[in-house]
Amino acid sequence: MSSAAHTSLAGRLDNLTIDAGVEGGRAVLVLRGDLMHGCADTLARALARLPDGTGRVDLDMTGVAFMDTTGLQFLEVLDTYGRRRRVRVTATGWNDQPRRVLEMAGLDPDDPLHGPGTHREPVPSAVVLERAEQLDLLRTEVEQLRQAIVTRPVIDQARGVLMATHACSSDQAWNVLREASQLSNTKLRKVAAVVTAGAEGGGPLPSPELRQALRTAVERCLN
């Protein structure tokens, strides 16, 4: 059996699939994709389809590549299921970015449902404030990652334009874009968009400051 949620990120369709197998009263759910909006509902549907008599539910998270703060709701759904059904539930195998999210949330990435940080006792207000600050930082980091995903194609195109125009390497083209961004106090994405539009023709003309910054950056980085 399997469940799937579909979410859109930067124009790309991302999937969360859950493949479930049950043997001897133990259910193993293998996840692949991203823990984003809708992931908690997908898990709830998968859990609801497990047969009566299931005494243990283990989630294999090794196939999860990305997780935002809604992934914490995903864990709450799993934890609530285990408490209400009085069954053992685990979610293990976290890697890379999702593992960092758990660490910043104060959870044990090796066992976020049962490790340190999961007790239900009241915690001092200072600890609560610290965790709130960590979650704010996490939200900022996730948003920056979203922006990076959106920005990357434009920057790659601009690097290609500079490489073709100046017969330079990819690293040199990157240095030109970064230098022009710093000299003109302009966001890197906007600099890249101007370079790409100039190559395609018909785009808006850059400001005199940005044109001068690009010329200076080329001289500094390529000569």
pLDDT computed for residue 9 by the predictor: 28
Residues 135 and 105: beta-carbon distance below 8 Å? yes
Residue 158 has phi, psi (to 5 degrees) of -65, -40
Q: Rounded CA gap, 159 and 174, in Å?
A: 6
- Residue ranges of the alpha helices (H) in the chain? 39-48, 70-85, 96-104, 125-166, 170-184, 188-200, 208-222
Let me know whether 110 and 32 are in one domain.
yes
**Amino acid letter, residue 108:** D
Let me know whether 74 and 159 are in one domain.
no
pLDDT computed for residue 154 by the predictor: 81
Q: Is residue 203 part of a domain?
A: yes
Helix (H, G, I), strand (E, B) or coil at 62: strand
Q: What would the two tokens of residue 213 be?
A: 């910054």
* Pairing, β 56-67 against β 88-92: parallel
pLDDT computed for residue 188 by the predictor: 85
Q: Is residue 34 part of a domain?
A: yes
Q: Which domain holds residue 36?
A: 2-121
Let me know whether 160 and 116 are in one domain.
no
In order along its 223 residues, the chain shows pLDDT tens digits of 544 443 322 323 347 899 999 999 999 999 999 888 888 899 999 999 999 899 999 999 999 988 887 788 899 999 999 999 999 999 999 998 888 888 887 888 898 888 654 444 444 445 545 666 666 676 676 666 556 555 567 888 888 888 888 889 988 988 999 999 899 998 888 888 888 887 766 666 778 888 898 999 999 988 7
Let me know whether 104 and 200 are in one domain.
no
Q: Rounded CA gap, 29 and 20, in Å?
A: 4
Which domain CATH number covers 14?
3.30.750.24
Q: What's the total number of domains in the chain?
A: 2
Q: Is residue 126 part of a domain?
A: no
Let me know whether 35 and 116 are in one domain.
yes
Let me know whether 97 and 200 are in one domain.
no
Q: Is residue 131 part of a domain?
A: no
Q: Is residue 96 part of a domain?
A: yes
Q: Is residue 136 part of a domain?
A: no
Let me know whether 65 and 173 are in one domain.
no
Among residues 121, 140, 166, which one ends one of the domains? 121
DSSP string, 74-94: HHHHHHHHHHHHT-EEEEE--
Let me know whether 106 and 17 are in one domain.
yes
Q: Is residue 135 part of a domain?
A: no
Let me know whether 97 and 42 are in one domain.
yes
Q: Which among 15, 66, 14, 20 has a CA at the least distance from the CA of 45?
A: 20
Let me know whether 82 and 177 are in one domain.
no
Among residues 80, 106, 121, which one ends one of the domains? 121
Question: Residue 195, Cβ neighbours under 10 Å: how many?
Answer: 27
Residues 102/39/56/84 CA torsion (nearest 10 deg)? 100
Let me know whether 8 and 74 are in one domain.
yes
pLDDT computed for residue 102 by the predictor: 86
Let me know whether 115 and 156 are in one domain.
no
Exposed/middle/buried for residue 208 (C-beta within 10 Å: 0-12, 13-18, 19+): exposed
Q: Is residue 93 part of a domain?
A: yes
